[in-house]
Structure 1
Amino acid sequence: MRLSLSSIALATALAVCSPAFAEEAPAPAPAEAPAAEPASPPKLIVAISVDQFSADLFAQYREHFSKGFARLLTGAVFPSGYQSHAATETCPGHSTLLTGVHPARTGIVANNWYVPGIGRKDKKVYCVEDETNPESTSKNPVVSPDHLKAPTLGDLMKKANPATINAAVSAKDRAAVMMSGHDTDAVYWFQGKGFTTFADRKISRAVVAGNTALQKIVDAGDGALPVPGWCGAVDRAVKVGDFTIGTYRFPLKAGDYAAYGYGPRLDAATGDMAIRMVDELGMGKDAVPDVLSVSFSQTDRVGHAFGTEGVEMCIQLAQLDATLGQLFDALDARGLDYAVVLTADHGGFDAPERLDQEGYPDAKRMSEDLEIGALADAVSQDTGITAPQGKLLYGGGGSGDIYLASGLTDEQRKTVIDALVARLRDNPEVASIYTAEQLEQLPVPHGNPQDWTMIERVRASFDPERSGQVLMMTRRGVVPIVHPGPGYVATHGSPWDYDRRVPIVFWRKGMTGEEQPAPVETVDIAPTLAALVGLKEPEGTWDGRCLDIDGSEADTCAR
């Protein structure tokens, strides 16, 4: 009989036995301890991303975790992990996790980029879209992994041994696709009223059953979610425009799939679907290691809708802690030998209205004159140049890429770029501006990510084929949402550490835990997991390095 996540009990407490002290003096230690034998590879890698789970949230809430997160905290904890690049969005961040390379090499420079000369009205290209398909638009994409330029860990493991199973699930298509890659056995994401997959595939029986289960939950409705006692300090209303945030408890009206899609319950369904996939695919059952990627999206959606410091985020993380506990308990119940890595695609920043109350007066919303339409009008006024057709500028709006219209002469392009740079340089909300020509001259940076200069951060997520002609970085504390509304009050995407810093945690049963304060990068995850499963790749495959995740004398990188 298949066990659902909700039916698995929490893990029983481990009995701890203390050895009795010997009466005689201990024997002298040997001159040199024998080298520890490396453990055999795990049968299943469980790679978990918590969307928008910043190092700040991790530090703030880790003392309250008692279930899934608490188990991971007994492993190898790197509280100062970095998404080192400037483009701290979902798609670029997820693209680094299992490729081991920066967005400059994955080619995923943003969630969306622009191709002004593309032969369709919609000039925006979604990061996991097949824009060559006439049925595809950036808002309703035909989903494809083709934009990802680097292989994932699952791709490489399947190349080494086709018996490897490479599967992924998330509420977001871009998260599941970026973590699994090109050579996949099953990839699912939530859309509408259930989980779906690529247009040329069908959802499996297990996914049909999972969708039926979640639809029963939504159609029945539910009350407000419980508020843990330790959430009291953040349970207060904050006014944003003509509405408030900070006190919402996620009641679920019967049949309200939109509300379901933006609250903690969808994380639980994602975890449930992960276990259904493990069972159906037979993951972790033979001597060939498998890879299961699970991206929990709802921390990001709660962060956008309510900010990071209200009771909503407190409820979300408590619910996610329980979901992780159920996921691990279900894997335990199946007797699987699995290793876990948990991290995030990026961090996040709170709503400036609450930050102002909390003593951060420099936090503010971006001014209208940095919106792309206003910039285009200003540059046209300065230069007398208008687009041959369509818009003069695309993109912009916050820290990121600005693209020039197609059809401009070389002289016009230079004039527009010079005028745009001058406008941005005079704007007090802009920290730095770079041109594609400048960035192309630089190598992709290496070394401790907290020491990187601003231009190095931008270079790490710059691809000359897809990035804009001008890249602007707004100042610290500037939130690129000019007009907030219900469901969208806070965001991420900046080059500042509140968006770059994320936790990285590894866990496997029996490993010796450690707390490692040194700065590491998400591009270190893939080479670390590769070493764990005995996968050897040529030098230059990764931008990152292998991390020794065993706190004992054993070296997990020396295999």
Structure 2
Amino acid sequence: MRKFLLALAATTVGVSPSFAQSAPPPKLVVAISVDQLSSDLFDEYRPQLFGGIGRLARGTAFRNGYQGHNASETCPGHSTIMTGSRPSRTGIIANYWFDLSQQRSDKGVYCAEDERVQGSSSTAYTVSPYHLRVPTLGDLLKAARPGSRNVAVAGKDRSAIMMGGRALDQRWYWDGKTFVTDLKGVAVPRSVIATRTAVAQAIAQDRPALQMPALCQQKARIVPIEGGGAPVGGGAFARKAGDARSFRASPEFDGATLALAASLIEEMQLGRGPSTDIISVGLSATDFVGHSYGTGGAETCLQMFSLDRDLGDFFRLLDSKGIDYLVMLTSDHGGQDIPERKRLNGVPGAVRVPSDLYGKEMGKTLGAKLGLKGPVLYGDGAFGDMYLDRSLSAGERAKAKAAAVAAYRAHPLVEAVFTHEELRAAKSPTGSPDKWSLIERARASFDDERSGDFVVLLKPDVTPIADTKSYVSTHGSPWDYDRRVPILFWRAGMAASNRDDAIETADIMPTLAATIGLPVDASKIDGECVDNIQGVTCPVR
């Protein structure tokens, strides 16, 4: 993929414009989300990175950005970045939730599906922005300036949907085999065809192990995994021909996504029209690597160095085109390492949940205890929103709810349980996101229509995966290793500014809007324009 990027760079050479405080708005906004890039990872690897991440870190770098809400998952996190709103306003409360009023047997709802389409399910769905209740920056820009282009490219459909919005000129994302789109009537660009061909050829070849930098070699320690999973920690990323799943959980995946983004920028001449254009790029490999191997081993180390290199190539390509571009890079959420390695590194309380904490299992236990038939509880795992079976009578639901809330609150691995009524009555959080209480974090993820009958928050250092045959690590907690993410702004000539103050990812959209001179109704978003960024003049509050 790197060779593909460098080949594109050879077609035209120019000089990037220098930055000035009074410079006109950038011609291209490049909004990048690196899935599962926690501030912990950013802080750890920043001194070693001299490519793309290193470049951005020399702009305005907020190391204490926050996905402030409790549901620190891919879909909710991406929904905040380009909308200026928290999940409580975007309506994207989780990757999956339950709608028990549905007539279909599958009561689950995927955040980026349109369940109104006949035959759609939460696992075999029709991709759509149907559930997103607010516009993105690209939506607002195209409405105000029809000449602007709005493009999204991502390794996940939900990333492209939530960052791009509805008014898209092009949207492409990985479907497990190749890059596809949900947009109707859009001709497949030459750049997409070329990228598909290059990726297919890459997957069709055996891949030898990657060479590891010295730092990664120090982390290459094999760690056994509980719950049936294979040991992790050796690094390398060797891959057999045809193994698309391993391709997805390797540094090559981000290289492919960036190659597609770069080629669309060139083919569409983004950043060279009369109005500002936006391209949103969702890089998903860090997330798949983290889920597959944990965040503390040689695999994530290799991924960080590779990501830095590929981003550096991508930015040099944009430089060569003479485009005046502004980059914003952040993450949809952070993540924690596997408990087995955390214990080796001095965190004795790091554990995996037992299967009896899963909503389905808890429902069975309560049903047997209370003499209730049916699932009793619906829940996507051992934490998050839990829903009471609507086939129960009102009295049975009340009894089941009281018993379920009491059982979860009494469990030694549960930090807190908040009921639907408690969250509805709570005020939306204000002030610095690092100071929010647990109920405020949960309130930022609450939607009166979509949220469960109660929400379960696990204690710190608890990994909510019992069966590790597919994934060994995950995220989604209210704790800072999942909430705290970097937020970086860079434009050519911008002076370096390291910022320790806490801001929200919801602040990104109004800050970018101010940079391109696009008015935004502050009453319709949760975020605020961030002051004291070179080149950004925030509206008077």
TM-score (norm. length: structure 2) = 0.94
**Do 1:8 and 1:326's aligned partners in 2 also have CA atoms closer than 8 Å?**
no
**Do 1:112 and 1:125's aligned partners in 2 also have CA atoms closer than 8 Å?**
yes
Corresponding position: 1:557 with 2:541: no
**Alpha-carbon deviation of 1:96?**
0.2
Question: 2:507 is matched with which residue: 517, 520, 524?
Answer: 524
**Structure 2 equivalent of residue 291 of structure 1:** 278
Corresponding position: 1:6 with 2:6: yes
Q: Deviations over 1:360-418 (max 9, x none)?
A: 0111000122112221122223432223xxx2211152330001112333222221111
Distance in 2, Cα, partners of 1:90 & 1:471: 18
Corresponding position: 1:74 with 2:55: no
**Do 1:246 and 1:306's aligned partners in 2 also have CA atoms closer than 8 Å?**
yes
Q: Which runs of 5+ in 1 are unaligned?
A: 15-35
**Do 1:38 and 1:556's aligned partners in 2 also have CA atoms closer than 8 Å?**
no
Root-mean-square deviation (CA, aligned residues, Å) is: 1.9
Distance in 2, Cα, partners of 1:329 & 1:44: 15
Corresponding position: 1:266 with 2:253: yes
Q: Percent identity?
A: 44
Distance in 1, Cα, partners of 2:185 & 2:284: 23
**Structure 1 equivalent of residue 194 of structure 2:** 209
Corresponding position: 1:226 with 2:207: no
Q: Deviations over 1:129-160 (max 9, x none)?
A: 01111132211211000100011000110111
Query: 4+ residue stretches of structure 1 with deviation over 6 A?
Result: none
Q: Which runs of 5+ in 2 are unaligned?
A: none
**Structure 2 equivalent of residue 188 of structure 1:** 172
The one-letter code matched in structure 2 to 1:127 is: C
**Structure 2 equivalent of residue 134 of structure 1:** 118
Distance in 2, Cα, partners of 1:360 & 1:124: 35
**Do 1:343 and 1:503's aligned partners in 2 also have CA atoms closer than 8 Å?**
yes
**Structure 2 equivalent of residue 102 of structure 1:** 86
Change (3 A) 1:196 1:523: same
**Structure 2 equivalent of residue 22 of structure 1:** none
**Do 1:113 and 1:467's aligned partners in 2 also have CA atoms closer than 8 Å?**
yes
Corresponding position: 1:443 with 2:427: yes
Corresponding position: 1:149 with 2:147: no
Distance in 2, Cα, partners of 1:446 & 1:183: 31
Q: Deviations over 1:306-338 (max 9, x none)?
A: 000000000111111111011101111111000
Aligned 1:24-423 pairs, distance under 5 A: 38-198=22-182, 200-202=184-186, 203-241=188-226, 243-387=230-374, 391-423=375-407
Tell me which moved more, 405-414 or 434-443: 405-414
The one-letter code matched in structure 1 to 2:389 is: A
Distance in 1, Cα, partners of 2:83 & 2:414: 32
**Alpha-carbon deviation of 1:163?**
1.2
Change (3 A) 1:352 1:433: same
**Structure 2 equivalent of residue 18 of structure 1:** none
**Alpha-carbon deviation of 1:441?**
1.1
Alignment size in residue pairs = 528
Distance in 1, Cα, partners of 2:52 & 2:185: 33
The one-letter code matched in structure 2 to 1:496 is: W
**Do 1:152 and 1:179's aligned partners in 2 also have CA atoms closer than 8 Å?**
yes
**Do 2:359 and 2:382's aligned partners in 1 also have CA atoms closer than 8 Å?**
no
Change (3 A) 1:328 1:267: same
Distance in 1, Cα, partners of 2:29 & 2:484: 23
Distance in 2, Cα, partners of 1:200 & 1:266: 26
The one-letter code matched in structure 1 to 2:7 is: S
SS of structure 1 residue aligned to 2:224: strand
Distance in 1, Cα, partners of 2:224 & 2:532: 44
Question: 1:457 is matched with which residue: 441, 459, 480?
Answer: 441
SS of structure 1 residue aligned to 2:522: coil
The one-letter code matched in structure 1 to 2:202 is: I
SS of structure 1 residue aligned to 2:524: coil
Distance in 2, Cα, partners of 1:179 & 1:348: 20
The one-letter code matched in structure 1 to 2:282 is: S
**Do 1:85 and 1:457's aligned partners in 2 also have CA atoms closer than 8 Å?**
yes
Distance in 2, Cα, partners of 1:280 & 1:145: 26
Distance in 2, Cα, partners of 1:530 & 1:439: 31
Distance in 2, Cα, partners of 1:425 & 1:510: 53
Distance in 2, Cα, partners of 1:261 & 1:513: 34
The one-letter code matched in structure 1 to 2:217 is: G
SS of structure 2 residue aligned to 1:437: helix
Q: Deviations over 1:64-112 (max 9, x none)?
A: 1011111111100000000000000000000000000100000000000
Change (3 A) 1:37 1:425: closer
SS of structure 2 residue aligned to 1:317: helix
SS of structure 2 residue aligned to 1:220: coil
**Alpha-carbon deviation of 1:199?**
6.3
**Do 1:142 and 1:199's aligned partners in 2 also have CA atoms closer than 8 Å?**
no
Distance in 2, Cα, partners of 1:319 & 1:276: 20
SS of structure 2 residue aligned to 1:374: helix
The one-letter code matched in structure 2 to 1:83 is: Q
TM-score (norm. length: structure 1) = 0.91
**Structure 2 equivalent of residue 32 of structure 1:** none
The one-letter code matched in structure 2 to 1:84 is: G
Distance in 1, Cα, partners of 2:486 & 2:536: 21
**Structure 1 equivalent of residue 493 of structure 2:** 510
Q: Deviations over 1:438-466 (max 9, x none)?
A: 11112221110111110000000010111
Larger radius of gyration: 1
**Alpha-carbon deviation of 1:180?**
0.3
**Alpha-carbon deviation of 1:483?**
1.9
**Do 1:145 and 1:177's aligned partners in 2 also have CA atoms closer than 8 Å?**
yes
Distance in 2, Cα, partners of 1:511 & 1:45: 15
SS of structure 1 residue aligned to 2:442: helix
The one-letter code matched in structure 2 to 1:529 is: L
